[in-house]
Structure 1
Amino acid sequence: MSDPTVKVIQSPWFRGVPDSEAQEFLKLTKPIKVKKGARFIEAGETPKIFGFVTQGLFRFLYTDQEGKEYTKVFMPENSFVSAYSAMVLNQASHFSIEALENSEVLAISYVDWLKLKESNPCWNELLIKVLEKAFIMKEARERELLFLDAESRYQIFLERFPNLEHRLKQHMIASYLGIAPESLSRVRKKEQP
């Protein structure tokens, strides 16, 4: 496994976190390998951990009663993966978090996270940054799905997730965009010179 210490300390998320606090965070984490296709969190389970992705790629997905999947978001390296509201409320998660590649995560228990937050205000500041980014992305995504056509949503996807298109299967991108894979093929053909 690559050295997660360097990835955490160099991550923009941890700017403003003193090195001694980053080391405390690392002491409380456990490196976990998640194989491609495995779930970090399964819908219906009450999550007790969350993680920081040091390598790999995940997607958050909802699955309906017929088994159709709806991709909520993609989370590459340097992202936090969590069903945070379910964890806070001690309730079952409504979505799953699936590894799309062989991935590595530094996992921390929610109990240890709460203790860490109590120990230094820098952790609340980090949490606010993460939640603000998530809220901004959620609001933008809702607006895009309501008001923009498939071509515009695809362009935003390419901007939001540069270099991710080649790491994903077409049906997953289509699911994220809220369109059928055939429609995505048509959109891509229009984009080609």
Structure 2
Amino acid sequence: MNELKTYLRKLIYFTERETEVFVSLFAEIELKKHDYFAKEGEYSSKLAFLSEGVMRAFFRNTSGNEYNKTFFTPPAFVAAYSSITTKRKNLINIQCLTPCSIFVADFDKITALYKDFPKIESLARILAEYKFAIKEKREIELVTLEAKERYEIFKKEYPDLENLISQYHIASYLGISPTQLSRIRAKR
């Protein structure tokens, strides 16, 4: 729980009471490699804080091909955001790529605090703005940069991830085949 408190302090100034009220909504859960936090077609209602492990958000097309949208590494808030905010079914899956330790809260309980604790609502806005900026940056990179450049950015943004997850997942994230990724790595 200390990881969550430390992370919160980096995002917004909470009083001790605000911190305790917010953190009290979270319970620790251990997930195994390959476990799902969210599944496509289901409804999500939980917000998680990842303190250990690696997760991926991905979608599957009608042919069954998977496309990694993003990776989550600690410290990070994790959720199927469109589902928890719109109350619609998930469009994505969130899966553990390694064993994970997460703290989970019911999103409706968090939003119920907004009126009495405006800084919690401010935190939600800060997180949404951050997620939007990251999403926009990634979309631009996918259409404007060569695969080699995207790989270099991946290595800077996720410096240790390459040793923890399979080449398949990295290639999917970069929008290339594992063979293309092998060629890029060989040229380094």
Cα RMSD, aligned residues only: 1.2
Deviation at 1:32, TM superposition (A): 1.3
Q: How does 1:1-193 map to 2 (within 5 A)?
A: 4=1, 6-11=2-7, 13-191=10-188
Partner SS, residue 24 of structure 2: helix
Percent identity between matched residues is: 31
Deviation at 1:175, TM superposition (A): 0.1
Given the superposition, is the C-alpha separation of residues 113 and 13 from structure 1 closer, same or farther in structure 2, using an over 3 Å criterion? farther
Q: Distance in 1 between matches of 2:178 and 2:156?
A: 20
Q: Distance in 2 between matches of 1:121 and 1:49?
A: 20
Q: Distance in 2 between matches of 1:7 and 1:104?
A: 11
Equivalent AA in structure 1 for residue 72 of structure 2: M
In the alignment, structure 1 segments of 5+ residues that lack a partner are none
Aligned length: 187
Deviation at 1:29, TM superposition (A): 1.2
TM-score by length of 1: 0.92
Deviation at 1:166, TM superposition (A): 1.1
Moved over 6 A (4+): none
Partner SS, residue 68 of structure 2: strand
TM-score by length of 2: 0.95
